[in-house]
Each structure stands twice: as structure tokens, then as C-alpha cells.
Amino acid sequence: MYTSSLDQLGDEIAELSAHLDAATARLLDLIREFDAREGWNTGFRSCAAWLSWRVGLDLGAARERVRVARALGTLPLLAQALARGELSYAKVRALTRVATPETQERLLAVGRGGTADHVERIVRGWRRVDRKAEARETSRRHASRALHVYQDDDGMVTIRGRLAPEIGAVLVQALTAAREALYQRSRVSDANAWGAPHASPTDVPAETPTMAQQQADALALVAETALHHGVDPGAPGERYQVVVHVDSPVLADSTRQASPCSRTARTSPRKRRGAWRAMRVAW
């Protein structure tokens, strides 16, 4: 009779714990929706800060609730297991630190088969492996970077390359800024043309450049800006050399030219002897 009574007590504890886990799953669903809809944005800095005030949670515990709630939004198997009381909140909290939609099924089996302490140890080991794998992947991507520049038969230059994601993002941002700068220049130029005494609608270009053409123009502006200003203004100049084709007749006529190339040649009589001329620029 005594053993039967203890067994019944133990069953009630386990059942009530499962109900608490199911209630926690519902609570996390509500927190995730409340956070997504920014219900906390009434003078609080975050959903965790609001939970700490409204529910009385420690701020660290509130942050963890919000983190787990967000993670379960993309991990339906773990969310369902918690809602059914199959996994405790302690296990789910640990598993969401490493779980992804692709690995959640394997981690669910880990959670079902071990204690909360065992799950924590598995998660710590998993995170170490993930960090090593991430480092290897980052190194592999870095080693695969490349930029190929070559000239086609018609003289046009073709560029093809691979950049690391963060470098690619910088390049895209630079091209966007350059396109905007060229667009503003074009607006000013058009406005000046319309204000000229002999300007007419026929002076306005009939065709708008395509996006690909705008990208090419933007890249040219980025390159010109780098050559003009240099990558590191504090570094010594003349680190890179640009070779420019300049014919002797052009150099002889340099006194009537106003381009930067002709001015450079005019200041160096020694350089007029050949058709190939080298101009050093700081970059």
C-alpha cells in the first residue's frame, strides 16, 4: 500500500510537470507573437524588459524566454514536443542553442533519450564542433576568393570574380552609392542644359542606361575615385603603376590639350621620347 501510494504520487508529479511544460509551450507562443507585433514598444527597450516588469522575471531569464520563443518559431518538432510534454523546458532551452530546421529531428531524439544534464553536455560538444566547422567554412570561402580581368577581342574588358559575403556586401553598397552620385550629376547636367540659351528637348539623351550599364559606370567611378584619392591617404604614394598609351603627335600637341594626361606629359620632357608612357598614381 505504501509503495503504491508513492508510485501514484510520482505519477502525479510527472503528469503535472508535463502540463507545466505544455503551458510553457503556450506561453512561449504568446511571447513570440507579442514580440513580433512589438507589443512591448510602449516605453520599454525590449520584450525581455517588458517581461521583467510585467511578469516579474529576472532580466536574464526574460531574455532567455524570448530567445527560446523566437527559436521555436523555426523548430516545429521541438515546439510540438514541448507542447505535448515530451520534452521539458530545460531540455528545449538547451537544444534551441544549436538546433536548426535540418538538425532538429536528430536533436529531438537526443532530448528524449537523456537527462537535462546529458542534453546540456551534448549541446556544449555540438557547439564546439559547429564553431570548428564554421571556421573551416570561413577559411574555405576566403581561399576561393578570386577576380579575373581580361580583354575580349573587341577591346572590351571583362570582369568575373568571387568575393566573401561581407566584401561583396561592401562592393554592392559602393556601387549603389556610385550610381546615386552619377544620377545626381546627370540631373545637374540636364538642368544646366535646359537652362542654356540654345538648349532644346532634342539635347536630352533619348535612351536611359540599363541597370547593367549603370553598374558598369558605377564601377568605373569607384575605380577612378580610388585612383584619385588613394586607399590609404597616409601611405607613401607611387605603389602602383598605370601604363597609358600616348602617341608622340598627341604629346607634341599637349600645349593645346587640357586633359590630366597631357599636363602630366608636358611637365616631363624626358617622357616624350616613346609612344608608351608610364604615369604613377597613389592607390
| pLDDT tens for each residue of 141-189 | 788 889 899 898 898 999 988 888 788 888 888 899 988 988 888 887 7
pLDDT band at 255 (very low <50, low <70, confident <90, very high): very low
pLDDT band at 234 (very low <50, low <70, confident <90, very high): low
- How many Å apart are CA 87 and CA 16, to the nearest integer? 13
For residues 137 and 112, the model is more confident at 112
What pLDDT was estimated at residue 252?
A: 55
Q: In this structure, which amino acid lies at residue 190?
A: D
H or E element that contains 248: helix 248-252
Long-range contacts of 159-166 (CB under 8 A, 24+ apart): 159/219, 165/141
For residues 128 and 202, the model is more confident at 128
Q: Which of 32-46, 81-95, 106-120, 125-139 has the lowest mean pLDDT?
A: 125-139
What pLDDT was estimated at residue 132?
A: 76
Q: Across residues 249-255, what is the average pLDDT?
A: 51
Do 78 and 99 meet the contact criterion of CB atoms below 8 Å apart? Answer: yes
210, pLDDT greater than 50: yes
Radius of gyration of the chain (CA): 33
H or E element that contains 4: helix 2-36
pLDDT band at 124 (very low <50, low <70, confident <90, very high): confident
99, pLDDT greater than 50: yes
**Beta strand pairing status for 157-162 and 240-245?**
unpaired
What pLDDT was estimated at residue 183?
A: 85
CA 21 to chain centre: 37
241, pLDDT greater than 70: no
What pLDDT was estimated at residue 231?
A: 56
| pLDDT tens for each residue of 62-78 | 999 999 999 999 999 99
16, pLDDT greater than 70: yes
238, pLDDT greater than 60: no
What pLDDT was estimated at residue 108?
A: 93
Q: Across residues 114-121, what is the average pLDDT?
A: 89
φ/ψ (deg, to 5) at 158: -105, 135
% of the chain surpassing 70 pLDDT: 73
Cell of 15: 503528469
| pLDDT tens for each residue of 17-40 | 999 999 999 999 999 999 999 999
213, pLDDT greater than 70: yes
CA 123 to chain centre: 27
Cβ within 8 Å of residue 55, ≥6 positions away: 62
Q: Which of 23-27, 94-98, 204-208, 239-243 has the lowest mean pLDDT?
A: 239-243
